[in-house]
Amino acid sequence: MAEKTQSAEFIPRLLPPWELLAEGHRGCQGCGEALALRQILKAAGPDTIVCSATGCMEIITSPYPETAWRIPWIHVAFENAAAVASGVEAGIKILQKHGRYREGKVNIIAIGGDGGTADIGLQALSGALERRHDFTYVCTDNEAYMNTGIQRSSATPFGASTTPSPAGKESIGQRTEKKDLPMIVAAHNLPYLATACPSYPLDLMNKTRRALSTEGPTYLHVLSPCPTGWRHPIDMAVEMGRLAVESGVFPLYEIIDGKLRLNVEMNKRRPVAEYLKPQGRFRHLGPEQIEEIQRFVNEYYDRLIYRSQCDAEAPPTPHEE
């Protein structure tokens, strides 16, 4: 498993020492999203400009007049983080051309939650990807609108109880399946796309570095466990991410120049029930529904394995070494 290789290579002194997301931000206790952001910014470094859509990460870091960011940061409306990031990128390009901005690469990161990416910001993201701006979009996916009180988004998985889709006598919670956002983004034919999880910090940081150093638009989909919304114990955010990956609910993969590669191909996976059980939002599910979710996950995972095998046999792309 990835965990083993990780602890073998993990040397904290070799990791970037800077904390660009200052301590003292108002994230909930045990927030997986703040953890993901902290690791991403560690990898990105101080030469970074962040454009943030409305969402948890904006709320907790910038209660006026304080900010938790130690890098230039702009908050914009829910729908246009990608559009503003394109503007920042184009602006820097033209200022550099006229010699009014220092030379060298500036990392531009747009951050949106799953609501700001899959629902509200999808058109801005699509536009920015299509215009081929050189930036990285990070979607921190906690599977609902958590900052306003756990409202369902299109990235909420089947069976999850949220405030507008509560579980009860007549309802099993969210009725539809999670939108496969990384694949929608991959359809824009990006040079680099990856899914990651803060439970695997080195993997997340390596993917961030690769995304930022790749020319052109890149995308990171980061699963961010949320103790408040998923209703699991506050010390379990990292554990939940690990369970999601090991059960196949959230497979870690990269798509490089259209070729999908699974980071860990697991033929033997944990049962999905182990992932669902600690979470209060799935507490009401009966054995049949859990079996149904297991079937969804198996089908999805098999499709990914099949695609990765097909892509491995495909002729090499021009960029491939």
Partner 1 sequence: MADGPTWKEYPMAATISEPGSATGQNTGDWRSERPVRNPEKCDKCGICWIYCPDAALFMDEEGFYEVDLYHCKGCGICARECGKDAIEMIEEGE
Q: Which residues contact 20 (CB under 8 A, 6 or more apart)?
A: 38, 41, 42, 44, 45, 46, 48, 69, 70, 71
Task: Say whether residue 133 binds partner 1 (CB under 8 A).
Answer: no
Q: In this complex, which beta carbon is closest to partner 1, that of residue 67 or of residue 123?
A: 67
CA angle 123/223/77 to nearest 5° reads 35
Contacts of 311 (CB under 8 A, 6+ apart): 258, 259, 260, 261
Which residue type occupies 43? A
Using the minimum distance from each CB to partner 1, give the nearer residue, 14 or 98: 14
Asked if 1 touches partner 1 (CB under 8 A), the answer is: no
- Report if residue 238 touches partner 1, rule: CB under 8 A: yes
Distance CA 212, CA 208 (A): 6
Per-residue mark of binding to partner 1, 207-236 (x: CB under 8 A):
--------------------x------xxx
Site string for partner 1, 149-188 (x = CB under 8 A): ----------------------------------------
How many Å separate Cα 156 from the centre of its chain? 14
Q: Please list the residues that pair with 261 across neighbouring strands.
A: 254
* Chosen residue from 2, 62, 183, 307 binding partner 1 by CB under 8 A: 62
Tell me if 25 contacts partner 1 by CB under 8 A: yes
Residue from 177, 239, 257, 292 in contact with partner 1 (CB under 8 A): 239
Q: Decide: residue 209, CB within 10 A, 0-12 exposed, 13-18 middle, 19+ buried.
A: middle
- Distance, in Å, from the CA atom of 85 to the CA atom of 289, rounded to the nearest integer, reads 41
In the complex, least distance from residue 12 CB atom to partner 1, rounded to whole angstroms: 3
Residue 24 is a binding residue for partner 1 (CB under 8 A): yes
Tell me which residues touch partner 1 (CB under 8 A): 7, 10-13, 15, 19, 21-27, 29-32, 34-35, 38-39, 61-71, 198, 201, 227, 234-239
